[in-house]
Amino acid sequence: MSTDISDIHRLLLPFLVTGLAGTELTQAEREMLSEAPPAGVILFHRNVESAGQLGRLTGEIRRIVEAASGLPPLIMADHEGGRISVLARAIGAPPSQMAAWRPGSEELLAGIIAATSRLMRICGINLSLSPVADVNVESLNPVIGTRSFGEDPEEVSAAVRIAVRAIAGEGILSCLKHFPGHGATVFDSHLTLPVIGRTIEQLREEELPPFAAGIEDGADTVMMAHIALTEGDSPASLDRRIVTGLLREKLGFEGVVITDALEMAGALPDGIAMKSIDSASGGSKAGDAVPAAIVARALEAGNDLLLMSRPLEEINAELVLHAAALGDELSTAALAGRMEESAARIVSLRDRANAAFEADPSIGDLQAFLDKGRDAYVNEALLVRSVFSAAGSNSPGNNRRCPGELVLPVFLGAKPDFDSYVVRRFMFRVLKGLGEAGPYIGPGDSIPDRGPDRVPERFFDPDKLSPVRTGDGLETGLYLFEPVRRPAARRALFLLCRKPPPEDVIRTVAAGYDSVVVAGRPWDAALLPPGSSVVVTYGIYDAAADLVAGMIRERVRRAP
């Protein structure tokens, strides 16, 4: 079949969601959005600088796409809370889902979700890529963890219902992810194709109930996971028996199904990943296209929207390069009928997305609100007390919080732990809460004076552990970031917690610490020796950083 590029754009772009290059539209992006707009865009950290900037960006996207297509674009973001808070520079990092639900308060959870959704709406986001409906049944899961509401299907189902209703109540669209359940994996689908070793019957008992609950309560979209049930299976995202047979026919979902990013290794042949899909540099070269066969398979399986996280300019260049192959793959009569069904669902969804912009407060209102402090809308003090009360009684290990000597922060981890903006934000907020008083040990030996956007040049690497000298005779606290993800870090922590400190060193990393704050993964508390005093935050987010700083200040006040 011979198809020119205008035909390919007209045929495929209404089914695509793409990324953007930066914090404002390039001239090329403006022209492309005007001539052949995709169904929507997805925003990442690279697209966010402030609340005002984000409002201007989304407003311009909406004006251009509506003029070109007569429909509002879907403008979406992964702002779940905790570490996955891509809008943090604009509206802060809310609690992780696990932290928000840990106290078991429906009112508290609904308030957190509603507050987050309202802030997203004011910034021009009309589709929240949440809630995460995965049941985190695997403690070594490298990609879900505290993103999940918990480990019990019934509890997760209850929380998913609350979240779906709260998001809808603020006038934006919701997305259940990652179907049929990413919670049992020990591998990251960004890097490979995880095999969960589950039958469909087993899924129905553990992984599927939260999705069924969310669908029953009106979830607008469902995102497919790049996972295989058993060895040799296709990714669920490309498997018709999962997308159409299980999600559509068995669970009765009638809304829009969206793939996870098709650049991820879990969706690609031979598990070969492209370059980072959330890179400020723009991702892959145009020649590194998602294969035309993968695009066709995703649509044939029953997906409606195809997510490609790299910038629009790259995607359009790939359409030019691979027009013939795409034309051939998409030319079958059966696929044409399948795409007509998806087109109708997508148009309906985009029509409903208009609600997010009706009677919308101005971005100026948002900036004034943020300037007065976020606890004017969400009582973070109440939230922190609730979360930590639950942590003290229910988290792994012995969680007594004991009075003791002065505690000062040590951030333990290797460089990848500190690459995340939200992690750096957490560290900076702790230090700022201490009045920028030192010492500050690893990464670096002084407080980062340029704010959380600055990547520390040095870090405390557990692969190269050496004693830490504070030089002031004060006991030192430890704040952990995901050491379980690297065996060397796990071994180092395990050994150091049991190793008596040398006489000439005040404390060695974790040996005999009065208190340890586990900020990344609650399961890491199990690595600490019996009798350790542990505080578990169930995620890395703003309110937890504030409490950590307050806890240290209280110890300073009580120190002799």
**Three-state SS sequence of 436-452:** CCCCCECCCCCCCCCCC
On whether both 226 and 159 belong to a single domain, the answer is yes
Burial of 96 (0-12, 13-18, 19+ CB in 10 A): buried
The total of other beta-carbon atoms located within 10 Å of residue 473's CB is 8
CA atoms within 13 A on the CB side of 346: 26
Please check whether residue 10 lies inside any domain of the structure: no
Please check whether residue 247 lies inside any domain of the structure: yes
On whether both 338 and 389 belong to a single domain, the answer is no
The confidence band for 484, taking pLDDT boundaries of 50, 70 and 90, is very low
Dist. CA 560–CA 555, nearest whole Å: 10
Statement: residue 128 has pLDDT above 70: yes
On whether both 396 and 359 belong to a single domain, the answer is no
Last residue of a domain, which of 363, 393, 412?
363
Mean pLDDT computed over 247-265? 94
- Give me the catalytic one of 78, 260, 360, 461: 260
- Give me the catalytic one of 9, 79, 178, 190: 190
pLDDT, greater one: 286 or 243: 243
The mean pLDDT value of the chain amounts to: 76
pLDDT per residue over 49-104, tens digit each?
988 899 999 999 999 999 999 999 999 999 999 999 999 999 989 999 999 998 88
Active site residue 260: yes
Please check whether residue 238 lies inside any domain of the structure: yes
Please check whether residue 142 lies inside any domain of the structure: yes
Active site residue 178: no
On whether both 254 and 305 belong to a single domain, the answer is yes
On whether both 149 and 224 belong to a single domain, the answer is yes
Last residue of a domain, which of 363, 392, 419?
363
pLDDT per residue over 340-384, tens digit each?
999 999 999 999 998 766 645 566 666 665 655 444 444 554 555
Number of domains in the chain: 2
On whether both 331 and 404 belong to a single domain, the answer is no
On whether both 395 and 355 belong to a single domain, the answer is no
On whether both 131 and 233 belong to a single domain, the answer is yes
On whether both 504 and 396 belong to a single domain, the answer is yes
Last residue of a domain, which of 338, 363, 388?
363
Please check whether residue 374 lies inside any domain of the structure: no
On whether both 543 and 453 belong to a single domain, the answer is yes
CATH of residue 254: 3.20.20.300
Please check whether residue 97 lies inside any domain of the structure: yes
Beta strands in 233-336 (DSSP E): 256-259, 306-311
What pLDDT was estimated at residue 456?
A: 45
On whether both 338 and 483 belong to a single domain, the answer is no
Mean pLDDT computed over 130-157? 91
Domain limits at 418? 379-558
From first CA to last CA, the distance across the chain in angstroms is 82
Compute φ and ψ for 128, nearest 5 degrees.
-90, 120
On whether both 149 and 207 belong to a single domain, the answer is yes
pLDDT per residue over 299-333, tens digit each?
999 999 999 999 999 998 888 888 888 888 888 87
Please check whether residue 371 lies inside any domain of the structure: no
Please check whether residue 3 lies inside any domain of the structure: no
